[in-house]
Structure 1
């Protein structure tokens, strides 16, 4: 019992772990809330595109010795705005436009990086995360940014749901679809950029999508789905850090593995939409006519 208690309490005695837990918990909660709208929209690809579109901004900032996160944020916001504007053309599907800008942004990032002879630890931490190195100022920035993003999403939740489920119907109802698209893209961009230090550019999509997808298996209602997704994101992030600390593993990768394991459990055991429930349902429907 004492060993189990020590497992949960020992990391909290270390200042860098305290900051890492705070950042991971906030990021997991915020990404869970925003990820619900990404999953409802069926736009997981946009999360990947924005995450990778931040790469040329980071590479440019790295080349000129600027702030990597600010460079990534600027590039991600620019790409998100361009995707929202170009995808208003009804001749082009949204995923087609995303694919165009996704490929361009990542290609541009590779070109920019190739102009330098070597990569530094800063650029590697952007790609793979460095949550154990966050400062008190980083914690404050993440907390403020996360609060703003969640507030925006909750204030526009009805309009965003309408656009996520059926953009054409929302447009016919008089909703400002372009502005709502821009808002959603920018909020997603903000969530991705604030998550980069926790899990890195390579793994950030999992933090945005996996908790919301897990919650989607358990409920159809927006309110409970949002609460569950934020709880899964926060708890999974904290549990991943504990695993990382206990077994000396990469923090970002551990968080993603724990979140995916949670998704797998729910996918199997969800009361209505889980694998076991669907298997039992098919068994009963198959046995019904025979029994009659």
Structure 2
């Protein structure tokens, strides 16, 4: 049992587990809406849109998380502005800004010759470097996520099915959309330390995808997605400790494996139930057929 006990008695692993669990709950809540609303491309774009801010903050000697937050907020605001004022579709606006921000980040990184290690952290995170200050920031992000998700829950639900109904009910779907984009931005920024900008979409989507086959109620999906996310963090950290793999990539990869396992298990159980239901009528008819048979 040393493979389990040894890492969980180490201070930096416990901090990583705590930070990862906080991020997993944030991503479980926000990722549920991302999956329901089909906003995966937005999450990926914001994740890569953080690169210029992180790169500039590192060059200037500022906190990388602050640069990530500023860049992600600017990305979200630019997407909203292009959608409102331009003639471009939502996906086209996101795609153009995605490529533009990613290119800008690569330019900044390539211009600096002291970026080898920092670029790896930017892309894949460094969950094992989580400290008490990071935990406080993640806990604050979780509180904000819970409050916003609770306040806008009815508006999110109505907008997910029919924006016209949401408008008729006075739920202001445009404001709800802005709030949801803000939540996605917050989740991506909060996840940056754990899995970096490249793998953040995996942690945002995979737990929610894993949870969807098991329940249709949105709060239940959020809770189950959070549980899947925490399990992915735990298993990913154990894999990283015992196999010597990158911690952030191990967490993201484990989350995707859990999603695949959940989908496979759900499909197998559905087939078993269908087979049982198809055999049941035949079994009920057999005694009647035997009773009516000539003797």
TM-score by length of 2: 0.87
Q: Which residue of 1 aligns with 2:95?
A: 99
Aligned residue in 1 for 2:196: 200
**In the alignment, structure 1 residue 149 sits paired with structure 2 residue 142:** no
Query: In structure 2, what is the equivalent of residue 62 of structure 1?
Result: 58
1:258-277 pair list within 5 angstroms: 258-270=254-266, 274=267, 277=270
Could you say which residue in structure 1 is the equivalent of 2:238?
242
Q: Distance in 2 between matches of 1:84 and 1:232?
A: 31
Aligned with 2:70 (options 67, 74, 84): 74
| More displaced 10-residue stretch of structure 1: 198-207 or 254-263 | 254-263
Conserved in 2, the CA contact under 8 Å of 1:84 and 1:178?
A: no
Residue ranges of structure 2 left out of the alignment (5+ in a row): 282-295
Please, what TM-score do these two structures have when normalized by structure 1? Answer: 0.88
CA distance in 1, matches of 2:79, 2:164: 17
8 Å contact 1:244–1:254 — kept in the other structure? yes
Q: Deviations over 1:238-288 (max 9, x none)?
A: 111111112111111111221111111111111xxx266259759988xx9
Unaligned regions of 5+ residues in structure 1, if any?
none
- Measured after TM superposition, the shift of residue 124 of structure 1 is 2.2
Specify the alignment match of 1:25 in structure 2.
Answer: 21
Please tell me whether residue 46 in structure 1 is matched to residue 42 in structure 2.
Answer: yes
Residues 128 and 252 of structure 1 are in contact (CA less than 8 Å); yes or no, is this contact kept in structure 2?
Answer: yes
- 1:160 matched to which residue of 2? 156
Q: Name the SS of the counterpart of 2:61 in structure 1.
A: coil
Partner Cα distance (1:198, 1:245) in 2: 15
Larger CA Rg, structure 1 vs 2: 2
Are 1:81 and 1:182, in contact at CA under 8 Å, matched by a contact in 2? Answer: no
Residue number in structure 1 paired with 2:284: none
Q: Give, in whole Å, the separation in 2 of the partners of 1:123 and 1:253.
A: 15
The Cα shift of 1:166 comes to 3.0
Structure 1 residues 144-202: Cα deviation after superposition (integer angstroms, max 9, x where no partner): 22222122112211111222333344334433233222211111111111111111111
Question: 2-side partners of 1:228 and 1:157: how far apart?
Answer: 17
Q: Which of 156, 177, 181 is residue 181 of structure 1 equivalent to?
A: 177
Take 1:25 and 1:130, find their aligned partners in 2: how far apart are those partners?
15
Is the 2:109–2:119 Cα contact (8 Å) retained in structure 1?
Answer: no
Alignment of 1:207-226 (within 5 A): 207-226=203-222
Cα distance, 1:113 vs structure 2: 2.1
Task: Name whichever of 66-75 and 7-16 sits farther off.
Answer: 7-16
1:43, CA displacement in angstroms?
A: 0.7
Question: Following the alignment from structure 2 to structure 1, what is the Cα–Cα distance between the partners of residues 156 and 241?
Answer: 38
From 4, 15, 18, the equivalent of 1:8 is 4
> How large is the Cα RMSD of the aligned pairs?
2.5
Aligned length: 282
